[in-house]
Amino acid sequence: MMPNRFTDTLFQLIKSLEKAEKRNFKLYIKRSSGNEHLKIIELFDALDKLEDYDETILLKKMPSIKKPQLSNIKVHLYKQLLSSLRLLKSTESIDMQLNEQLDFARILYNKGLYVQSLKILEKLKEIAKTHYKFNFLTQVISWEKKIETLHITRTMQNRGEQLSLEAIEVNIRVDNVAKLSNLALRLYSWYIKNGHARNEKDEKDVKAFLEHNLPQGAHNQTGFYERLYLYQCYCWYAFIRQDFLMYYRYAQKWVDIFYEQPLMIKVETGYYIKGMHNLLNAHFDLRNYQAFEKVLKDFEAFSTTELSNQHDNHRIQTFVYISASKINMHFMLGTFAEGLTLVKGIDEKLEEYSLYIDNHRLLVFNYKIANLYFGAGQFETTIDYLQKIINGNVEMRNDLQCYARLLHLMTHYELGNFDIIESLIKSVYRFMAKMENLTIVEEAMFKFLRNSFHVSRQKLKPELEKFLASIKKLERNRYQTRSFAYLDIISWVESKVYEKPLSEIIAAKCLERKTRHYS
């Protein structure tokens, strides 16, 4: 059986450790000199030296550990690794700090020191309120109620009434946050599966879904998390519908609440990073060049901070989103050849972070990089990147699956591979029809391609001009803009009509928009 580095969770965890974390684990575990602990260090060292997980090779490296023992020792090592990381990282996370203090309160309670336990719980409540940790507050209040119910503490009069009111208020807030976060997640999941709304039915469905599930009074909420999830809901809703102005407004609101309460950038760094990513996407979709450059500059400055590099997760996410934005910048400017200088570094980082990068991100990068090569006229390499999508998981991002195949068809057209064009047209058309992805633009595209590869060069230009005129009319149509968001078909056809490189056509449009903006 071929070794697979992704099949073993313990191996993944060890490979994710930094030098300081490995050193801390050794110090942590060697405090105990039991034979079992010596065996888990032996297993740790053996796994650390492996390039890929292979149990047969692993057992050969550890003659003292027999195969029947391996499973239990691995489980024990995994738990010990997490325990050492918890001790090392406890000061970096408000959630871990709160849980640690709650554990202390429980220990004091079990010792019969009720008043001391209540004092810790009271401090915890204040910290949790400051950081809007209402889920955690429910646990704290629950413990306070338990102590007050089972024991006469005489801490204050009317204690029961106050705790009851606090519990009701917190539960209402937790319920609102849960409803809004669930809705945001479900809208995002809709997008991951389907991409942008394909037609009027999709748009009606997603609108009805939002209105049906939006909690009553959601727009009147003032809490940080309530607003954060509300803005996320409207971001995904607007993005699905390709209402890019609305998408921008809510992405800006999403980022602004972090600037209003800077403490929350540290508490919810992942959501801040995601908000910056969406704000950059919105500026890209609206072609707001100046605003895009400013936000990208701010985001790059953030990526160098200690906070951004504190965790693998934050560091990887900032890399992913900044890299995608840099590619988008070249799409806006038409500087495809210049953009290709990014590819080697991105591919190397994707390989380095392969344990952590999900398939959706890889799909998006492969599509973006394929478009860079297409724009730069390097069609053979375009096909290499598109094949990674076409031969991959077709259950994810139906939209990108379809447009990757359409770009693949266009690339073969550019290469003059007319012997396979006809069969490719049929194949891609069937695939897009099956996915209910065909818009008027794509129908016109297929019609043009079917007719044009039989036409002589002298007669091709009138056909191109006719095709361009037909799709230009659709540029402002709500349900047709999806095609142009994924694939700049209009610029490609213009490059054929005006006999200019695609990069030159897009650069001229960029300059025209900038001139219009400043005039």
Instruction: Show pLDDT as tens, one digit a residue, over the chain (519 residues).
Output: 333 445 689 998 998 888 989 988 888 887 765 555 688 888 999 999 988 888 888 888 888 888 888 989 899 999 999 988 888 877 777 888 898 899 999 898 888 888 888 899 989 999 888 888 888 888 888 888 888 777 655 555 677 778 888 888 888 888 999 999 999 999 998 887 777 787 788 889 999 999 999 988 888 888 899 999 999 999 999 999 889 999 999 999 999 999 999 999 999 999 999 999 999 999 998 889 899 999 999 999 999 999 999 888 899 999 999 999 999 999 999 999 999 999 999 999 998 888 888 888 899 999 999 999 999 999 999 999 999 998 876 666 777 888 888 899 889 988 988 888 888 888 888 887 887 666 777 777 777 777 776 666 667 778 788 888 888 777 766 555 555 566 788 888 888 888 899 899 988 888 887 766 554
Residue 345 lies in a domain: no
Residues 87 and 168 in one domain: no
Residues 166 and 79 in one domain: no
Residues 388 and 505 in one domain: yes
Give residue 26's domain range: 9-91
Residues 512 and 429 in one domain: yes
Structural domains counted in the chain = 3
Residues 192 and 55 in one domain: no
Read off φ and ψ for residue 154, nearest 5 degrees: 55, 30
Burial class (CB in 10 A: 0-12, 13-18, 19+), 338: middle
Residue 482 lies in a domain: yes
Residue 189 lies in a domain: yes
Residue at a domain's end among 91, 116, 146: 91
Cβ partners under 8 Å of residue 296, min gap 6: 280, 322, 325, 326, 329
Residues 377 and 519 in one domain: yes
Residue 85 lies in a domain: yes
Long-range contacts, 139-147 (Cβ 8 Å, 24+):
139/102, 140/102, 141/166, 141/167, 141/170, 142/167, 143/102, 143/105, 143/106, 143/109, 143/117, 144/118, 147/109, 147/114, 147/117, 147/118, 147/121
Residue 286 lies in a domain: no
Residues 475 and 392 in one domain: yes
Burial 470-482 (b: 16+ CB within 10 A, else e): bbeebeeeebbbb
Which of 237, 264, 297 lies closest to 131, judged by CA? Answer: 264
Residues 167 and 81 in one domain: no
Residues 83 and 172 in one domain: no
Say which residue the tokens 């195969």 belong to: 67
Helix 398-415 with 379-390: angle, nearest 10 deg: 150
Amino acid, single-letter form, for residue 461? K
Residues 85 and 171 in one domain: no
Residues 53 and 172 in one domain: no
Residues 380 and 502 in one domain: yes
Residue 135 lies in a domain: no
Residue 398 lies in a domain: yes
The structure tokens listed for 341 are 């200088």
Q: Is residue 368 within 8 Å of residue 324, measured between CB atoms?
A: yes
Burial class (CB in 10 A: 0-12, 13-18, 19+), 326: middle
The structure tokens listed for 28 are 């942590």
Residue 255 lies in a domain: no
Residue at a domain's end among 216, 242, 268: 242
Whole-model pTM over 0.95 = no
Residue at a domain's end among 242, 257, 278: 242
